[in-house]
Amino acid sequence: MLKKLHIQNYAIIDEIDIQFSESLNIITGETGAGKSILIGALSLILGERADSSVLLKNDKKCFIEGSFLVTEKEAVKAFLSTHDLDIEEELTIRREIAANGKSRAFINDTPATLAQLKELASCLVDLHQQFDTLEIGDTLFQREVIDALAGNQPLLQTYVDAYKQWMAASKDLQLLELQKSSFNKELDYFQFQYDELEETGLKANELEELDTELQLLSNSEGIKTALVKTYFDITGSELPITSSVKQLANQLNGYSAFHTSLPLLVERLQSVHIELQDIANEAEQISETIGFDEKRVDEINARLSIGYKLLKKHGVLTTGELLKIKDGLEKKLQAVLDIDGAIAAKEKEAAALFKQANAAAAGLATKRKKQASPLEKDVNTLLAQIGMPNARLKVDIKEVPLNQFGSNEIEFLFDANKSNRFEPIRKVASGGELSRLMLCIKSLVAKSIDLPTMIFDEIDTGISGEAAKQVGIIMKSLAANRQIICITHQPQIAGKANAHYFVYKENKGNTIKTNIRLLTDQERINAIAQMLSGEKPTAAALENAREMVRG
């Protein structure tokens, strides 16, 4: 529910705060006092566009803020969760419009887009204004009305689940058939590529290892020469390095008793001598294993030539990547062999799901058709009560191919004058007719659908007396379980209010501004009496007003 609305510097409003009740809120006031301006301001926090022309004073920004209690609104909680916004008991929406026309919006102090405001607003407020096409002309809403009255939600959920599964299976089947078509076109090419890689018989890291071996063989003579020279210089020259190191160690050893550091140097030289001897022996062993093998070089070059061609052909750099390509081709070839079986299995699955969805759709269709006549009767009765005795509603239900809501296309048709020419509501109903028709329908489905705060802006145009009284009764009934805000000129409707607000103009500093106040019980009686008989109400009007407030 809308708990509080704060408006500052908007149109002819300087600054006002309105605390709304949770039931039926009625707003009255003289024509031109600014009642609809309130709705205009509210529309801004519901995502409507605005510019600097709405500013009362151009030297400061326009500021509009609405506070909503959303404790039991699951749709609101889902929206906040989806957009990573804090979920709290009270939700605040703020809109600021600067003098340059730039606008900013906030949800719980977090910046938001107008699209987000509109999405959230649909969960919070249901706004009905004259000349709006309203959601009543939307076939989706019309279907929701029928399903709500028919108690179709469990069956509808069963259908939706089956329909989604059927659509998913159908999509999978289509993809499989496309795959088969594509595979058939490319089968020979895949087979050729796979056979080429299979015949080559590459092993993991083979090309990299062959390249390393080729580098060794190509440089074998130089490597062997370097190893032999290393061995010779260390152990076999006229003055071997090992002999020199050994001689140095012996020479220092003769004086080691005379200096504490000499034994350590001797020990280190002896270690060097041993390490050098070991290096020489290992160099000799390695040199014996190295030799140029022309036959082996030719074998490696031939093998690498084949491998490099495959690398270039497939646009990769390593043996591992070639082997991955081979595995992928093998899977594709296997998929060609398996796809007929997969298609047959998927066809069977899709057929079973279609049968399940079709059965649920048939159940929905039966219940919808059964509900159409009672809805027509109830709505037409209410229409007569609220001053539209010649208006009639007709529910047209047609069979269509399965869609996300079943096998029906539902259209509300309307005849305002008993002409028997029923047309879609959105084409023939006027703004006032639409609003009153919506009031009738929503009063019937209120217990079945979680309706948001409903706001009616002068839907009572063209009615009075008993019809207006019936509109008030319907609104009062609706307000028992949800918040209603209504702008009206009818005393019969105003008399049903839980909270009655009066909009008026006042002169402040030679400037006319709009203000609003919550009326006391006595002020309500006076205001309703004035609506009945003029600015100076008669005693009879006052008594009549008291009866309306009490009744």
pLDDT in tens, 231-253: 888 887 777 888 888 888 998 99
Extract the residue ranges of the chain whose pLDDT is less than 50: 130-134
301 token code pair: 């070059």
Give the pLDDT score at 455. Answer: 87
Residue 49 in any domain: the answer is: no
Positive or negative: CA dihedral 182, 187, 191, 192: negative
Q: What is the pLDDT of residues 28-71, one digit of tens each?
A: 988 777 788 888 888 888 888 877 777 877 778 889 999 998 88
Domain count for the chain, please give it: 1
Give the pLDDT score at 93. Answer: 92
Checking DSSP bridges between strand 423-424 and strand 406-415, what pairing results, if any? antiparallel
d(CA 340, CA 346): 10
363 token code pair: 């159940």
Question: Residue for token digits 């006549």?
Answer: 373
d(CA 91, CA 394): 40
Residue 258 in any domain: the answer is: yes
440 token code pair: 């009738």
- Give the CA radius of gyration of the chain: 45
CA nearest to 545, candidates 520, 528, 521: 528
Q: Are 523 and 546 in contact (CB under 8 A)?
A: no
Domain holding 224, by residue range, is 179-337
Q: Other C-beta atoms within 10 Å of 475: how many?
A: 25
Residue 276 in any domain: the answer is: yes
Residue 320 in any domain: the answer is: yes
Residue 532 in any domain: the answer is: no
Give the pLDDT score at 33. Answer: 77
Residue 265 in any domain: the answer is: yes
d(CA 528, CA 520): 12
CA nearest to 45, candidates 131, 108, 132: 108
* Confidence (pTM): 0.64
Q: How far apart are the first and last CA of the chain?
A: 25
Q: Are 496 and 550 in contact (CB under 8 A)?
A: no
Q: Could you tell me where the DSSP H helices lie in 254-291?
A: 262-289
Mean pLDDT for all residues in the chain: 87
**Sheet arrangement for strand 423-424:** 392-403, 406-415, 423-424
Residue 246 in any domain: the answer is: yes
Q: Which long-range contacts (CB under 8 A, 24 or more apart) does 487-490 make?
A: 487/27, 487/28, 487/35, 487/36, 487/38, 487/39, 487/456, 487/457, 487/458, 488/26, 488/27, 488/28, 488/456, 488/458, 488/460, 489/28, 489/31, 489/458, 489/460, 489/531, 490/460, 490/463, 490/464, 490/531
Residue 112 in any domain: the answer is: no
Question: Residue for token digits 């076109």?
Answer: 185
d(CA 341, CA 381): 60
Give the pLDDT score at 434. Answer: 78
d(CA 219, CA 228): 14
Question: Residue for token digits 């024509």?
Answer: 31
